[in-house]
Amino acid sequence: MDNIQHLLLGPAALLYGSGIAVRNGLFDLGMLGRYKASIPVVSIGNITMGGTGKTPLVDLVVKYYSGKGLKPAILSRGYKRKTKGVRMVADGRQIFLGSREAGDECAMLAHKNPETIVVVAEKRKHGAGFIAEQFADTLPDVLVLDDGFQHRQMYRDLDIVVIDTAAPFFEERLIPAGRLREPRRNLDRADLLILSKISDPETASRFEKSLRSYGKPLVRTGIRPGKPVQFAGEDTSPPERVIALAGIGQPESFVASLQESCMEVVSRVFFPDHADFPLKKMSSLAGQALQKGLSIVTTEKDYFRLQANHAVLDAISRVPCFYLPIELEIIEGSELLEKMLDQAVS
């Protein structure tokens, strides 16, 4: 099947790769200009499609700067949102938009960082200009650019790339034949590589060995699950036997977090990343959970998408529903990360 897929999608991937190469070449030669924001920019991105652990890192970086007394702002495309153009998600005092208008990740980041400015814009330079205009009297100290590695129109003071150790990309092809958004050699542009979702030190060591040729500093990170939070159904004790519900890029890492939290995953229901949850399917899922005495547990990001879909939320509220918050845990390299974050804003 893989060979057939390669034959069918290979030419499209070749065409896509050619376009990427021309575009990057024009930026490298200075023939395409780059917008320089009025404040320092820290970009956090990846080179693969979906689920690398980028959003938890954005959250960690924002909290790091806030903890140092600085005022960060988040600028994102707002993937899969129902709106267009530049939109203010939050101004650091009030949250204006939910997941439908802002995208699930941005809605989550705004709620987890209520004193942070959050703006979405397809063209990030327009978003940066909007922030500079709207907050001219009290400019943020740093702009955290979410999913910014491919967005080369914006100059950045620190370029971080997140690499998922749970989903190796060394044998991957360019999209649409594979998951690579651009060739692996383009990691040369990064200032710092973050290895995410490490659960096995031996696997991490193999990754590091493969990445050493790029000569980039590396930070090792893992995922630390928090306590499940109930958001629907009758109040009950923490979930034990559960249905894992997720619409994220790499759902198996979510299942691993549930199991690490001592939950028995009886059933798994996965949808594509950022997908809407179909009402009929979710009603059936709630019926199964009710019949078998199970709880439904989802990701924090999916929770925000569920909150915006009242019909689906009502349908599953017959059973206890929880989301599992997660945090990024720095295993090795915290001093290096902090030093580079400090240098970016100095």
What gap in Å lies between CA 4 and CA 151, rounded to an integer? Answer: 32
pLDDT of residue 57: 97
Which candidate, 260, 235, 274, 281, places its Cα nearest to that of 327? 260
Distance, in Å, from the CA atom of 102 to the CA atom of 79, rounded to the nearest integer, reads 8
Alpha-carbon distance 82 to 94, whole Å?
20
Placement of tokens 């549930």 in the chain: 258
The predicted structure's pLDDT at residue 169: 76
Residue-level pLDDT at 2: 55
Closest listed residue to residue 84, CA positions, set 109, 101, 99, 105: 101
CATH 3.30.310.50 describes domain 10-222+330-345: no
Question: What span, in angstroms and rounded, lies between the C-alpha atoms of 102 and 302?
Answer: 14
Distance separating alpha carbons of residues 330 and 196, to the nearest angstrom: 9
Which residue do the tokens 């490490």 mark? 198
Instruction: List the Cα angle 280/317/109 in 5-degree steps.
Output: 95
Per-residue pLDDT of the chain (346 residues; tens, 9 = 90+): 455 555 667 788 888 888 888 998 888 888 898 999 999 999 999 999 877 889 999 999 999 999 999 999 999 999 889 999 999 999 999 999 999 999 999 999 999 999 999 999 999 999 999 999 999 999 999 999 999 999 999 999 999 999 988 877 766 788 888 889 999 999 999 999 999 989 888 878 888 888 888 999 999 999 999 999 999 998 888 899 999 999 998 899 899 999 999 999 999 999 998 888 999 999 999 999 999 999 999 999 999 999 999 999 999 999 999 999 999 999 999 999 999 999 999 9
According to DSSP, the residues that pair with 76 across neighbouring strands are 120
Measure the CA–CA gap between 201 and 198, rounded to whole angstroms.
7
CB 179 within 8 A of CB 50: yes
Peptide bond into 114 cis (omega under 30): no
Closest to 305 measured CA to CA, from 277, 271, 326: 277
pTM flag (> 0.85): yes
- Cα dihedral: 80, 194, 64, 136 (round 10): -50
pLDDT at position 200: 82
CA distances from 346 to 70, 78, 155 (A): 12, 28, 16
pLDDT of residue 283: 96
d(CA 141, CA 192): 21
CA-nearest of 299, 249, 280 to 79 is 249
Domain span(s) for CATH 3.40.50.300 in the chain = 10-222+330-345
CATH class of 227-324: alpha beta
Separation between Cα atoms, residue 249 and residue 14, nearest integer Å:
24
Which residues pair with residue 180 across a beta bridge?
A: 48, 174
Asked whether the beta carbons of 110 and 102 are under 8 A apart, the reply is yes
**Total Cβ atoms within 10 A of residue 14:** 13
| Helices (H), ranges, the chain | 2-28, 54-67, 99-102, 104-112, 124-134, 201-211, 251-260, 279-292, 300-307, 310-316, 334-345
Q: Which residues contact 309 (CB under 8 A, 6 or more apart)?
A: 276, 277
Would you state the pLDDT for residue 250? Answer: 83
- For residue 1, the model assigns a pLDDT of 43
What is the signed CA dihedral for 323, 307, 302, 115, rounded to 10 degrees?
-80
Tokens of 52: 């690398």
What is the Cα–Cα distance from 14 to 176, expressed in whole angstroms? 9
